[in-house]
Amino acid sequence: MQSFVDAGRGLVTVLRTEWNFRIHAAVALLVTIAGFVFGISAGEWLAVVLSAGIVFMAEVFNTALEYLADAVHPEADRGVGMAKDAAAGGVLIAAVAAAVVGAIVFLPKVWAWLTIS
C-alpha cells in the first residue's frame, strides 16, 4: 500500500511542478472528450490511451532524472545538461508519436464531419 501512496505523491509533485505535464494532461482530456464525441473504436481507444500513457510516463521519468541530477550535481555540468537534454528528447519523441496516432485516429473523423453535406 505504501508504494501506491509514494507513487501518488510523485504524480502530484509532477503535476504541481511541471508545466509540460499539465499541458499533456489538458491535451489528454481534450482527446478523451473527442474520443467520446467521435465514437472511436476499441482499437482506436487502445492506441490513444497507450500513446497518452507513454507521454505521461516519459514526462515523469524526465522529471525524475532532472530532480535526481540537480540533487546529485546542483552546479552547472555539461554531462548533467546532456542527460537532461536526452531525457527531454525522449519526451519529444513520445509526444510526436502520440500526435501522429491522434492524427491517424481523428483526422478522418474530423474530415468526414466537416464534409457532411
Q: Return the residue matching grid coordinates 546542483.
A: 74
Distance separating alpha carbons of residues 10 and 22, to the nearest angstrom: 14
Q: Return the residue matching grid coordinates 464531419.
A: 113
Helices (H), the chain: 2-17, 19-38, 42-72, 78-114
Question: Which one is catalytic: 18, 44, 59, 66?
Answer: 59
Q: Is 59 a catalytic residue?
A: yes
Residues designated catalytic: 59
